[in-house]
Amino acid sequence: MPFISNKGFAMPESPIRKLVPYAESALSAGTEVIHLNIGQPDIETPEVALNAIQNFNQKVIEYSHSAGFDSYRKGLAKYYRTHNIDVDHNDIIVTNGGSEAILFGMMTCFNPEDEVIVPEPFYANYNAFALEAGVILRPVTTYLKDSYALPPIEDFRELINDRTRGIMICNPGNPTGYLYNAEELDTLRKIVLANDLFLIADEVYREFCYDDKEHISVLSLEGLENHAIVVDSVSKRYSMCGARVGALISKNTEVMATALKFAQARLSPPTLGQVAGEAALNTSQQYFDDVKEEYLKRRDILVDGLNSIDGVTCPKPGGAFYAMAELPVDSAENFCQWILDSYSYKGSTVMMAPAAGFYASPDLGVREVRLAYVLETEKLEKAIEVLRHALEEYPKTLEAQKSFFTA
């Protein structure tokens, strides 16, 4: 029997994946599982997008251009321009979700063994795409106590060597929800220019910024025309993760010409998803206002609720729809497994993502979890109560186990 590849062997499993069997067993035992572990919003997709799908009246579902429909790219360019991002349609390649844009970005910009600095904790799948492209991610650690703000410029400088070719950020951040301010982005700008690096920014949560904070795209930073690359997606913006439509955006014509060759190899992004994406460009401002208000409400319920539990710390995120929390436990992973496997409160339990999988450095985040506030407020309130009681109960269980083993 032939062996699988080293890359395949090393490929990380989803940090959430291993908890799935425990969630399934809870479910089959009749326990309600409240999913705070994934970013699949329950918000409805805009009607304009759903209508476009229902009105699809072509007789053949054809390939599109490898870079996406021309009309869609022009529409996207207009959308970006209204967000202070000065691009035209030639600066945009439509991709199979933001995921493919990350992979195209990495394969276009970096050679195997090249190093890319990423503030950690970061979206766990960056590890996977880096592995696919052969790229080495060098984490610069951010801390819960600082609400995951960008560390000082010295922390970056320490990591830069002659293999360093880029910096990758997620803004607003998954899993932290942290929104970079103008000063932080200027720090990045300086590092990038001083060291001639690519700056890849995953900005898929652009629409979700709270407390009157504004999102600043790396594409609007002065002098970064040849350095800045944005990864985008319709998944979160229009609550249509299943459309699998994203985009790679850059003013660097060489980057775009090269990324287009990767795009041509896989022929085209999905036609039906693009139909939905193009129609979604006509989504009303009211939709965004309503969605933002809803997320803001959910954030406050979740974060305030978490902080009201003894021993839990949860910085209030400025964007996206995730929060990171430190729990009064030794191992968040054990606790997340236990709460699914052995605990319920009034018939419910909670599924969370242990945060260690979002760190590249070992031993970090072991007491942290990531929570997505993509569920209605009632469920979030219920989740908080489950968690409050579970955290009271958990030490007793540990005690009992201990006395059992020492008996």
Residue 258 or 331: the one with the smaller Cβ distance to a copy of itself is: 258
| Rounded-to-integer distance, Cα 250 and Cα 79, Å | 15
- H or E element: which one contains 349? strand 348-351
| Rounded-to-integer distance, Cα 32 and Cα 23, Å | 9
Cβ atoms of 160 and 137 closer than 8 Å: no
109 binds a copy of itself (CB under 8 A): yes
Site for a copy of itself in 21-40 (CB under 8 A): 40
242 binds a copy of itself (CB under 8 A): yes
Min dist CB 35 to a copy of itself, Å, is 12
Burial 37-63 (b: 16+ CB within 10 A, else e): bebebebebbebbeebeeeeeeeeeee
String of contacts with a copy of itself for each residue 84-103, x by CB under 8 A: ------------xx-xx--x
7 binds a copy of itself (CB under 8 A): yes
| Rounded-to-integer distance, Cα 144 and Cα 315, Å | 7
CA nearest neighbour of 266 among 96, 105, 129, 388: 96
CA nearest neighbour of 99 among 135, 126, 69, 80: 126
Residue 20 or 400: the one with the smaller Cβ distance to a copy of itself is: 20
Site for a copy of itself in 347-406 (CB under 8 A): none
Min dist CB 204 to a copy of itself, Å, is 12
Min dist CB 24 to a copy of itself, Å, is 13
Site for a copy of itself in 295-324 (CB under 8 A): none
Min dist CB 127 to a copy of itself, Å, is 8
Choose the binding region for a copy of itself from 178-186, 193-201, 281-289, 382-390 (rule: CB under 8 A): 193-201
| Rounded-to-integer distance, Cα 29 and Cα 306, Å | 27
Cβ atoms of 67 and 263 closer than 8 Å: yes
Position among 30, 60, 212, 285 found at the interface with a copy of itself (CB under 8 A): 60
Min dist CB 297 to a copy of itself, Å, is 19
Residue 58 or 406: the one with the smaller Cβ distance to a copy of itself is: 58
190 binds a copy of itself (CB under 8 A): no
CA nearest neighbour of 327 among 375, 362, 365: 365
Position among 78, 266, 346, 402 found at the interface with a copy of itself (CB under 8 A): 266
| Rounded-to-integer distance, Cα 102 and Cα 276, Å | 22
Residue 198 or 394: the one with the smaller Cβ distance to a copy of itself is: 198
Site for a copy of itself in 200-229 (CB under 8 A): 226-227
Min dist CB 390 to a copy of itself, Å, is 27
Q: Provide the 3-class DSSP secondary structure of residue 108.
A: helix
319: left (phi over 0), alpha (psi -120 to 50) or beta: beta
Q: Provide the 3-class DSSP secondary structure of residue 136.
A: strand
Site for a copy of itself in 113-172 (CB under 8 A): 114, 125, 128-129, 132, 134, 165-166
What's the CA angle centered on 252, arms 247 and 256, to 5 degrees? 45
Choose the binding region for a copy of itself from 137-145, 146-154, 265-273, 317-325 (rule: CB under 8 A): 265-273
Position among 145, 157, 213, 261 found at the interface with a copy of itself (CB under 8 A): 261
Residue 277: alpha-carbon gap to chain centroid: 19
Choose the binding region for a copy of itself from 1-9, 313-321, 331-339, 364-372 (rule: CB under 8 A): 1-9
Cβ atoms of 242 and 277 closer than 8 Å: no
Q: Judge if the upstream peptide bond of residue 152 is cis by omega within 30 degrees of 0.
A: no
11 binds a copy of itself (CB under 8 A): yes
